[in-house]
Amino acid sequence: MAENEIYRASTYAPVNIAVIKYWGKRDSKLNLPSNASLSVTLSQDDLRTHTTASCSKEVPEDSLTLNNASQDISGARTQACLRELRALRQEMEDKDPSLPKLAAMKLKIVSENNFPTAAGLASSAAGFAALVRAIANLYQLSVSPTDLSRIARQGSGSACRSVLGGYVAWQKGEKPDGSDSVAYEVSPASHWPDMRAIILVASAEKKDVSSTAGMQQTVASSALFQHRADEVVPKRMKAMEKAIHNRDFESFAVLTMKDSNNFHACCLDTQPPIFYMNDTSKAAIRMCEAINSTQPDEKPICAYTFDAGPNAVVYYLAEHEDLVAGTFKAIVGDKTGWEGNRGQNIKVRSE
């Protein structure tokens, strides 16, 4: 090994938007969820995090920059990811002493989100997924996507779903150590390739209540929450997997909208109440309802969902591009409360 050799690996990870929401932890140290969740991985050239991890004897300390700004990596969650990846590399080096000693070197991690902050998208999912995969590649670890999802989960819960492509579930898991709280593929993107999404930006401002804090408050104070976690979500997970396997958009849409509303009802039931949706968000709900009411038997052709913020993601099928995306683009163009849209025709990402 050359004295000053630099080792480097790069990767991408996509944004995912849940249709059955993760909200609540049963163990905040290990980042274990109170319920399972399911998401669709979005693909558009500019909806991803690109991360390069490098190490050499010359790197003085572990560091992470995101869009050229230095990030604090001293938090327990980032440290848990780094510690676990280094331990796996150390195991490899112990078994094969001819390998370069990367585990002992400091890491320089450089990330870029190829979507503007103004898109109002949660970036921690793609961010941690890319960070974990870049380091695993750098260390040449022979780990499965399941292993990567378990590590990424410790950085940010939703990140475990961004390690895979297509339609992805995160199982709650039963073991106290979290080893079975991992993501799995429900269906590849190619199974239902005509799924599309449009993102409507009602506000690009940072949210008032972070997801981590909000979900802790909900777990501590909402009477609706336990019912959601124990009764509502387990049934919905099964129904949603079936809807995806059957490419049944009607069921997919109804479940998606109900689950978004159930999650936001739990937020409202939190003390103090958490309001993530605003009047513009509610206008998007009414617009979806209006579009769906024009269909024979009012069969839904679009489905809204809202995360911990006011921005809407609307799912639809390619055949309804003009009606759904066209209508939403027109109202966003009116500037009535909307700050913009982040593209239409966003496809499901395959990896």
- 262 binds ligand 2P0 per the rule CB under 6 A: no
Q: Which of 49, 162, 211, 292 forms a contact with ligand 2P0 (CB under 6 A)?
A: 211
C-alpha 287, offset from chain centre: 25
Q: Which of 243, 284, 308, 314 forms a contact with ligand 2P0 (CB under 6 A)?
A: 308
Query: Which residue, 77 or 108, has its beta carbon nearer to ligand 2P0?
Result: 77
Closest CA to 130 of 111, 115, 145: 111
Alpha carbons within 13 A on the beta-carbon side of 166: 17
Q: Is 66 exposed, middle or buried (0-12, 13-18, 19+ CB in 10 A)?
A: middle
CA dist., res. 39 & res. 11, Å (int): 21
Which structure tokens are listed for 141? 């670890």
Mark 25-39 as b/e (b = at least 16 C-beta within 10 Å).
bbeeebbbbbbbbbb
Query: Which residue, 21 or 108, has its beta carbon nearer to ligand 2P0?
Result: 21
| Least gap, CB of 34 to ligand 2P0 (angstroms) | 11
Query: Which residue, 301 or 303, has its beta carbon nearer to ligand 2P0?
Result: 303
* Stretch of residues binding ligand 2P0 (CB under 6 A), selected from 81-89, 155-163, 230-238, 239-247: 155-163
* Stretch of residues binding ligand 2P0 (CB under 6 A), selected from 107-115, 154-162, 197-205, 342-350: 154-162
- 22 binds ligand 2P0 per the rule CB under 6 A: yes
SS3 content of the chain, % helix, strand, coil (to 5): 40, 25, 35
- 256 binds ligand 2P0 per the rule CB under 6 A: no
Which structure tokens are listed for 314? 């609307």
* Stretch of residues binding ligand 2P0 (CB under 6 A), selected from 4-12, 21-29, 49-57, 111-119: 21-29
- 270 binds ligand 2P0 per the rule CB under 6 A: no
- Terminal Cα distance for the chain, rounded: 34
Q: Which of 127, 157, 310, 343 forms a contact with ligand 2P0 (CB under 6 A)?
A: 157
- 305 binds ligand 2P0 per the rule CB under 6 A: no
- 158 binds ligand 2P0 per the rule CB under 6 A: yes
Beta bridge partners of 22: none
- 37 binds ligand 2P0 per the rule CB under 6 A: yes
CA dist., res. 305 & res. 147, Å (int): 29
- Let me know how many helices (H) and strands (E) the chain has, helices first: 9, 16
| Least gap, CB of 241 to ligand 2P0 (angstroms) | 16
- 252 binds ligand 2P0 per the rule CB under 6 A: no
- 21 binds ligand 2P0 per the rule CB under 6 A: yes
Binding residues for ligand 2P0 (CB under 6 A): 18, 21-23, 31, 37, 122, 124, 156-158, 211-212, 307-308
